[in-house]
Amino acid sequence: ILPVGEFSDKQFIFMATRNGTTKKTNLSLFSKKYKYGIKAINLDDDDKLVGTAITSGNDEILLASSAGKLIRFNESHVRPMGRTARGVRGLRLKKDEKLISLMVGDPDKTILCVSENGYGKRSAVENYRITNRGGKGVKTINVTEKTGNLITLKNVTDNDDLMVINKSGITIRIGVDTLRVMGRATQGVKII
């Protein structure tokens, strides 16, 4: 679900799929309302949409993989495509990896990483160099047997609260400011 105001020719919808494909489409192509919806991206049989974002045409895109890798590139490296296009490679993945997150970079926020075994950490956006799309990315969290794979990334500020719910339904709420900003190649701290 994306909140949309007016449909502008200067705004885009940026999409990322589990297999590392990215696509940028002009938002104005979605301005008409259709009873049964319209196709936004052409997906392979083994692929699914992971994330979407409204962009300005010159935003920085952050993509992360389950292996703890993150790539940062300018969205201008992805040309605008039609609604039914498949897209282009955004992040190169190894065989057992999948893309888990798409974010628009914001220098006023930090990146919160959470792993499947309850570890988390924050990193500054500036810690990730800007590259071209299609690379392998750089380490954003040290993925080990202890931490488990990376499951999500979010843009956060010190004023935000974090709610974490595990598979058993246990929920905790902590202030993001209690998690210190760490380097890229650390495993983080136990959150839940």
Question: For 128-146, what is each residue's pLDDT tens digit?
Answer: 999 999 999 999 888 989 9
Per-residue pLDDT of 80-118, as tens digits, reads 999 889 999 999 999 899 999 999 999 899 999 999 998
Dihedral angle of Cα 33, 37, 42, 44, to the nearest 10 degrees:
160
What is the average per-residue pLDDT within 13-19?
95
Report the distance separating Cα 156 and Cα 112, nearest Å: 7
- Across the range 174-179, mean pLDDT stands at 90
State residue 99's pLDDT score: 96
As a whole number, mean pLDDT of residues 147-155 equals 91
CA dihedral (71, 77, 83, 84) positive or negative: negative
The Cα 80–Cα 24 span in angstroms is 5
> For the chain, what percent of residues have pLDDT higher than 90?
61
pLDDT for 35 equals 79
> What mean pLDDT value characterizes the chain?
89
Torsions phi, psi for 151 (to 5 deg): -115, -25
Q: Tell me: the pLDDT tens digits for 48-89?
A: 999 999 999 899 999 999 999 999 999 999 999 998 899 999
pLDDT of residue 4: 60
Report the amino acid identity of residue 14.
F
Binning pLDDT at 50, 70 and 90, where does residue 5 land?
Answer: low
Q: How confident is the model at residue 1 (pLDDT cuts 50, 70, 90)?
A: low
Q: Give how far the C-alpha of residue 159 lies from the chain's centroid of Cα atoms, to the nearest Å.
A: 21
Tell me what pLDDT residue 19 has.
95
Task: Look at residue 86 in the predicted model and tell me its pLDDT.
Answer: 92
